[in-house]
């Protein structure tokens, strides 16, 4: 658990993070190639991002604009945590998905 996390932040993580290793991404192609708004727009060239195992991470991978550099359980040194945005469901037109098969 992150130090100083609020109840809201913890609930958000519970609702959006899935178990398992997160993804390490690096932007390979300009995000503008996929249109005006896609999750890869949150990444900047030259940075490595750790994204928790989630629908959000899979959408970034599906853009094919990133290198998937591996999978890790925790944010490795030198990587930036890119959490699932709180407006994820509204912003990308995805129905509620908490990762369960229910």
Question: Distances in Å between the alpha carbon of 17 and those of 4, 30, 33, 45?
Answer: 19, 26, 27, 25
Backbone Cα Rg of the chain: 13
Residues 6+ apart with CB under 8 A from 88: 16, 55, 56, 94
pLDDT above 80: residue 102: no
How do residues 79-92 score in pLDDT, each as one tens digit? 999 988 887 777 76
How do residues 11-56 score in pLDDT, each as one tens digit? 877 787 788 899 999 999 877 776 667 888 888 899 999 999 999 8
**Tokens, residue 83:** 């959490």
pLDDT above 80: residue 59: yes
**Tokens, residue 41:** 């727009």
CA atoms within 13 A on the CB side of 44: 5
């Amino acid at each position: 658990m992150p130090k100083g996390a609020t109840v809201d932040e913890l609930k958000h993580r519970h609702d959006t993070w899935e178990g398992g290793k997160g993804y390490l991404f690096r932007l390979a192609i300009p995000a503008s190639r996929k249109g005006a708004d896609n999750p890869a727009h949150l990444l900047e060239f030259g940075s490595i991002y750790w994204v928790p195992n989630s629908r959000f991470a899979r959408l970034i991978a599906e853009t094919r604009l990133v290198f998937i550099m591996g999978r890790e359980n925790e944010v490795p040194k030198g990587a930036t945590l890119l959490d699932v945005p709180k407006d994820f469901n509204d912003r990308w037109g995805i129905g509620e998905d908490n990762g369960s098969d229910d």
